[in-house]
């Protein structure tokens, strides 16, 4: 599936550059590439009212919608908002399960407190584990700092977020460009509490370090990781010990890669963007 492969390949570039001046021309180029695919599936699905017949087309439709919203095609954001509001106003969820992750996330990103609270209530009341995962991830897509910080606090409250879902909730906030620094600050400020609440012996515990530091690509990021290691050596890192070392090594490698490639990649995208 070429578009899924493209998404996977672009994920590293996005992590390295979505906080830099490279992302402007990169986003403009990708918007040009994705727009025809978005239009193709819009027509094929009768304006997103039916699902393609083949599995290949279904997967490609999901990729098309996700990338269209990620790279700023206005009609995609409008679609997400419209479908979400139809659900909110009627209390009947007509969004096809294939599209829910993308629609939920972008509707929450475009919306405010009312939309977030609506989805939070749906999350609390759903009996489907699969639907709960989609809803919980979407809750981390808000662009409101105070909402993201509140969700981080909820992650350590077992009456609101199940203990086994705390790690992925924190990581979800970190994946949000707006929430990345909030998640990192939260983990640093609350490491002892996180360590005690989630148990440093869990096999998945190291995921919190790797999940939060995926964008780290500057010398300042490396120094922050090293300071985090030093500040918490008495508490320890349990099964996250190796993940922390790996995060430092990866951040150092990212620094070298960005230094070597940033200018060339920026020039390439600028040259490819059609006027």
Q: Comparing C-alpha atoms, which of 97, 70, 72, 71 is closest to residue 83? A: 97
Q: What is the pLDDT of residue 224?
A: 98
Tell me if 230 is assigned to some domain.
Answer: yes
Tell me if 178 is assigned to some domain.
Answer: yes
For residue 254 the two structure tokens come to 């990212």
pLDDT digits (tens, 9 = 90+) for 192-222: 999 988 876 676 888 999 999 999 999 999 9
DSSP code string of 34-56: HHHHHHHHHHHTTTTTS--SSHH
Confidence of residue 259 (pLDDT cuts 50, 70, 90): very high
For residue 1, pLDDT over 60 is answered with no
Q: Are 107 and 140 in contact (CB under 8 A)?
A: no
Q: Which domain holds residue 190?
A: 144-275
Q: How far apart are CA 28 and CA 36, in angstroms?
A: 14
Least confidently predicted of 66-80, 165-179, 192-206, 246-260: 192-206
Distance of CA 113 to the CA centre of its chain: 19
**How many domains are there within the chain?**
1
Q: What is the pLDDT of residue 174?
A: 98
Q: What value does the mean pLDDT take over residues 223-249?
A: 95
Tell me if 111 is assigned to some domain.
Answer: no
Q: What is the pLDDT of residue 201?
A: 64
Q: How far apart are CA 20 and CA 17, in angstroms?
A: 5
What is residue 22's DSSP assignment?
Answer: T
Tell me if 117 is assigned to some domain.
Answer: no
For residue 9, pLDDT over 90 is answered with no
Tell me if 96 is assigned to some domain.
Answer: no
pLDDT digits (tens, 9 = 90+) for 53-90: 999 999 999 999 999 999 999 999 999 999 999 999 99
Which has the higher per-residue pLDDT, 119 or 203? 119
Instruction: Tell me the whole-structure pTM to 2 decimals.
Output: 0.94
Q: What is the pLDDT of residue 4?
A: 66
For residue 2, pLDDT over 90 is answered with no
Sort 197 into a burial class: Cβ within 10 Å, 0-12 / 13-18 / 19+. Answer: middle
Q: What value does the mean pLDDT take over residues 20-49?
A: 95
Tell me if 248 is assigned to some domain.
Answer: yes
The CATH code of the domain that includes 248 is 1.25.50.20
Tell me if 231 is assigned to some domain.
Answer: yes
Q: What is the pLDDT of residue 3?
A: 66
Tell me if 110 is assigned to some domain.
Answer: no
pLDDT-above-90 percentage for the chain: 90
Angle at 14 between CA 9 and CA 15, to 5 degrees: 105
């Amino acid at each position: 599936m070429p578009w899924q492969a493209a998404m996977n390949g672009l994920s590293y570039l996005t992590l390295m550059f979505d906080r830099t001046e490279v992302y402007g021309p990169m986003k403009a180029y990708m918007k040009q590439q994705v727009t025809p695919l978005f239009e193709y599936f819009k027509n094929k699905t009768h304006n997103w009212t039916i699902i393609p017949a083949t599995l290949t087309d279904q997967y490609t439709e999901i990729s098309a919608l996700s990338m269209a919203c990620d790279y700023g095609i206005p009609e995609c954001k409008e679609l997400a908002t419209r479908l979400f509001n139809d659900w909110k106003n009627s209390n009947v969820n007509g969004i096809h399960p294939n599209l829910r992750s993308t629609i939920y996330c972008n509707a929450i990103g475009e919306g405010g407190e009312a939309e977030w609270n609506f989805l939070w209530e749906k999350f609390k009341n759903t009996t489907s584990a699969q639907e709960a995962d989609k809803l919980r991830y979407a809750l981390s897509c808000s662009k409101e700092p105070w909402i993201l910080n509140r969700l981080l606090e909820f992650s350590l409250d077992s009456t609101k977020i199940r203990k086994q879902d705390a790690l992925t909730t924190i990581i979800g906030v970190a994946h949000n460009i707006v929430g990345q620094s909030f998640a990192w600050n939260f983990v640093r400020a609350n490491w002892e509490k996180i360590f005690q609440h989630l148990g440093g012996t869990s096999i998945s515990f190291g995921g919190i370090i790797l999940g939060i530091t995926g964008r780290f690509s500057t010398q300042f990021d490396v120094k922050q990781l090293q300071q985090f290691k030093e500040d918490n050596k008495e508490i320890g890192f349990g099964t996250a010990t190796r993940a922390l070392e790996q995060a430092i090594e990866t951040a150092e490698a990212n620094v070298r890669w960005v230094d070597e490639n940033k200018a060339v990649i920026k020039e390439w995208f600028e040259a490819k963007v059609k006027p």
